[in-house]
Amino acid sequence: MNPFQLFASPWWVNLLLILPFILYFSFRQKGISVSKSILVATAAFGIAFGFNESVVVIYLRAAVGLLPGYGGTFADMVSLSSGIYQQSQSLSHLPSILAAIEFFREAATMIMLLTIAFVSAKTIRERIAIFLWTFAFWDLFYYVGLWFTVRWPSSILSQDVLFLIPVPWLSQVWFPLLVSILTIVAIIVVNRKSDLGTYKM
């Protein structure tokens, strides 16, 4: 098992840990007003999109020969990949053209998440909240999807490449999981809309 690492790299990635607290203290007085139906729908989008993201990563790793067992059964892939799959090492093995495609795919992902926030809410505060809410579910279920398919991460101390824009972000898996969970909790706490029927989808 990897030793616990407190800090992510580069240094400014660590500032994400205070994002849920900034969100909470900035929004707690006036709150936000997002219906439960919008929260459920955008969470569902984030969950599906996160799983889709994990599948794309699996396909990419298989295409460049970093994922053994994918030619057999699902059980073959899990048993042959779980012991050797290392997400953080795969970036250095990607051909430069695929690394560039990954960069633009991540940019497109951010545009999609921003678009969902824009069409789901009317005010800038609610759009920020919905973006972070959807992003958090997307991030959590990206890891769920990877674990389901290749049994990675093997622990929350596994090293990962979180993002490529503008440079690779590196941390252990506990870091994005914690940020995502705290973000979801902060949005639930500051949301003033408790009546599911107030807004209609």
pLDDT digits 0-9 by tens, 117-138: 999 998 999 999 999 999 999 9
**Angle (nearest 5°) at CA 52 between 153 and 182:** 60
Check residue 194 and give its pLDDT. Answer: 45
Whether 138 is in a domain gets the answer yes
Ramachandran class of 151: left when φ > 0, alpha when ψ lies in -120 to 50, beta otherwise: left
> What is the pLDDT averaged over residues 147-174?
89
Residue 36 to residues 54, 119, 121, 163: CA-CA distances in angstroms? Answer: 27, 16, 12, 30
Q: Please name the helix (run of DSSP H) or strand (run of DSSP E) that holds residue 147, with its range, or none.
A: helix 124-150
**Structural domains counted in the chain:** 1
As a whole number of angstroms, the longest Cα–Cα distance in the chain is 55
If you average pLDDT over residues 3-12, what whole number do you get? 93
- Indicate whether 14 belongs to any domain: no
Q: What is the pLDDT of residue 116?
A: 96
**Which pTM was predicted?**
0.85
Residue 197's pLDDT is what?
38
Q: Domain containing 151: what range?
A: 34-190
Domain assignment present for residue 200? The answer is: no
- Whether residue 89 has pLDDT greater than 90: no
How many CB atoms lie under 10 A from the CB of residue 159? Answer: 15
How do residues 31-53 score in pLDDT, each as one tens digit?
899 999 999 999 999 999 999 99
pLDDT higher at 19 or 198: 19
**100 falls within a domain:** yes
CB atoms within 10 A of CB 22: 11
In a domain, 152, yes or no: yes
Of 4-8, 94-98, 134-138, which has the strongest mean pLDDT?
Answer: 134-138
